[in-house]
Amino acid sequence: MTRPTLSDVPRPAAVLGFAGLVPFVAGAIGAWTLEAEQAGMAIPLQFFYAAAVLSFLGAVHWGLAMADGRPGWGRWAWGVVPALAGWLLTALEFEPVQMGMALTLAFPVTLAVDVWLVRRGLAPAWYPALRIPLTIVVTLALAASTLRFVYPPGA
C-alpha cells in the first residue's frame, strides 16, 4: 500500500486547509515588514488565530470520535486538549516570546498525535498528507513572528 499524497486529500479539505495558512503567513510577513506598532498588532492576531486553529485541530478528533461511536476517553480527551492549550496560552497573557514558542511547538505536537491516531486507524489515512505541509508552514510562520520579539526593530 502506498502512502497517501496531497492528491488523495479531499479537494475541499486541501483548498480550505491551505487557505487557512493566509493569516499565519501574513502575520509572519507583517512581523518583519511593518512598522513596530503595526507589527505589534499583527503578531498577536496571528497568535490568537493559532489558538483558534488548535481548537479546530482538537475538534477534528472529537468529530471523528462522535462519528465512529467507539467508547473510551482517549480520543474524546484529546479532542479538547489543543483547545485548552490555545485558550490557556492566550488567556494567561504569557510574554510574547513564551507564547510564540509554545504555539510554535504545539502544532508539531498535535501533528505527532494525529499521525499516531492515523496509524491506529482512528483518523483518515490521507490526513497526514494534508497536516504535514500545513504544519510545516504554520510552524515556520509562528517561529518567524516569535523571532521578531527576540530581534526587535532597531536592536
Which cell goes with 115? 499521525
C-alpha atoms less than 13 angstroms from C-alpha of 113 in its C-beta half-sphere: 17
Contact 123, 114 (CB under 8 A): yes
Domain range list for the chain: 10-150
Q: Running DSSP on this structure, what letter comes out for residue 6?
A: G
Helix ranges restricted to H, the chain: 11-19, 22-33, 36-68, 74-78, 81-91, 96-119, 127-150
Share of the chain above pLDDT 90, in %: 70
Torsion angle of C-alpha atoms 82, 9, 69, 86, degrees rounded to 10? 10
Q: Inform me whether the pLDDT recorded for 50 exceeds 90.
A: yes
Single pTM value for the model: 0.92
- pLDDT digit string, tens, across residues 92-110: 878 889 999 999 999 999 9
- pLDDT digit string, tens, across residues 134-145: 999 999 999 999
Planar angle of CA 50, 55, 59, nearest 5 degrees: 145
Contact 110, 142 (CB under 8 A): no
Which cell goes with 17? 486547509
Contact 104, 143 (CB under 8 A): yes
Q: How many CB atoms lie within 10 A of CB 32?
A: 14
Contact 30, 42 (CB under 8 A): yes
What was the pLDDT predicted at 141?
Answer: 98
